Every structure is written in C-alpha cells, then in structure tokens.
Amino acid sequence: MISFHRNQRMPTRETAMASVRAGPSSPSVTMARPGETQATAQGRPRFSQELRDLAQQFAGAPTRLSELLAATRGRGFDLLLLLMGLPFLTPIPLPGISTLFGLVVLVIGARRALGRRPWLPERLLQRQVPARFIAKVLSTASRAVRWLEVLLRPRLGFLHEQWIYRRAAGTLIMLSGLLLLLPLPIPLSNTFPALTVVLLAAGALERDGLFFLAGCAMFTATLAYFGLLVFGGVHLLDKLHAIIGT
C-alpha cells in the first residue's frame, strides 16, 4: 500500500506519471507499515476527497487510464476497481463502456486470483476516456464514496490477511468483469456484477471483512439473476420454436 505525505497535494498529470516511473522507492511516496490499514496510513486523506481532487484535475482534457491510475496511486488498483464499478450501478446498461471497463476489471481480478501483482496491458493503459465522462464519473463517485465511508471500518481482518480469501476476492472480481464484458441491453445486467466489484474493492481499501462478505453475497445474487435470464431465454426460445413449428 502506498500513501501520500500529510502535506502533499494531489499530483499533476506530469508528476503522477513521473512517480510511476520512479517506482515505490521514490521519496514522494511512503510505504504503509505491516499491519497498518489504509484508513490509518499516515497523511492519507479520505478517498472521497481524493476523488473530488481528481475530478478537478482531469476535467479539462481526455484522460488515459495510465494517468488516472498514476494519480490514484495512494489507493492503487482497489480505487481503480471502485471507479470502474460505480458508473454501472444504475439499472440502465452501458454496453460500449462496460466492455472496456469490464476488460480492465477482468485483467486485474485474474492477476489477483493468481496471487500476482495487478497489471494492465500497455494498450489498455493508453486508451483515452473523454474528459466530460471521467469528470462526471469522479464527481459522482465522490458522493457515493462519502456514503461508503460512513460504513467502512477495519474489521474481520483475517479475511484480507489470508491468501485464500484474497484469491477468492480476485476470482469474484474476475468473473464480475467477465459479466460486465457481455453487451447485454438488459436492465440490471451491469448493476449486479458492478456492485460486487464495488463492495469487494471498498472492503479491500479499508480492510473491511464485512464488505468482503457482502461482495460474496452480491455475487451469489448476480449468478441467480443471470441464471434467471438464461432460463427465461431458453423458455422463450422453446415457445417460439413451438409456435413456428405449428
């Protein structure tokens, strides 16, 4: 985990990208001590405030995913997953954007499921997101995260300390990303997997095991919803086949 110093401002695009090249040994960042939660890391602002700062920072021009990831370094890939999931919590599906975001979620989740450090292909990192869209997403995310901060707190820490649970969370995130990839113009088809990602990512941000359990429960509901879609689709096809056959 990496956090900004207490008196450090949010980085500009240039300094953010430079910090990525500098790596974790750069003096501009400090590593959290073992056992230190993200909520108690020294000098770390509430992540709703970080999102408000980022909304202002990226409001003027299209943003590459690499720039966004670099600027959110204090929260890492968990914050990126949270940002990827929040736009899809509405009942209306967003097929075009969900395909790109779902691919990113899939790759990050797969790496975690394998116990490896999160990584994204360079081609994805260089993809640009429109300025108006990213500013709107970040502003909306900031308001949503303020509600999460009321509920989030470190608890049931063993669910984040033991590797089997971390890999389980990665697997659920990977499968949720796969479901987001599907271009289904069906209400709630993005909402259920996105909410799973949001709960698991938020839980990881603050080492909140209760959110991990909530994410597992939401993934079960996601499977039930998509199972109903498949069952309904098969039933409809059977009826159409019977009508055509007669």
Q: Name which of 184, 60, 183 is nearest 131 in CA terms.
A: 60
Q: How many CB atoms lie within 10 A of CB 28?
A: 15
Contact 215/175 with Cβ under 8 angstroms? no
Given CA atoms 145, 146, 149, 151 in this order, what sign does their dihedral have? Answer: negative
pLDDT, tens digit (0-9, with 9 covering 90-100), for 224-241? 999 988 887 776 777 776
CA-to-CA dists, residue 131 to 56, 105, 207, angstroms: 10, 21, 32
**What band does 218 get if pLDDT is binned at 50, 70 and 90?**
very high
- For residue 24, give the 3-state DSSP assignment: coil
Give the helix/strand (H/E) hosting 64: strand 63-64
Query: CA 197 to CA 195: how far, in whole Å?
Result: 5
Q: Which two tokens stand for residue 237?
A: 């096809």
Domain residue ranges in the chain: 44-245
pLDDT, tens digit (0-9, with 9 covering 90-100), for 76-128? 688 788 878 888 888 887 777 888 888 889 989 999 999 887 777 788 778 77
| HSE-CB for 56 with a 13 A CA cutoff | 9
pLDDT, tens digit (0-9, with 9 covering 90-100), for 126-140? 877 787 777 777 777
- Which residues does 102 contact at the CB level (< 8 Å), separation at least 6? 177, 178, 179, 180, 181, 182, 193
Query: CA 176 to CA 193: how far, in whole Å?
Result: 5
Q: Please report the pLDDT score of residue 45 as a whole number.
A: 65
**DSSP conformational letter for 46:** P
pLDDT, tens digit (0-9, with 9 covering 90-100), for 54-64? 888 887 788 88
* pTM attached to this predicted model: 0.68
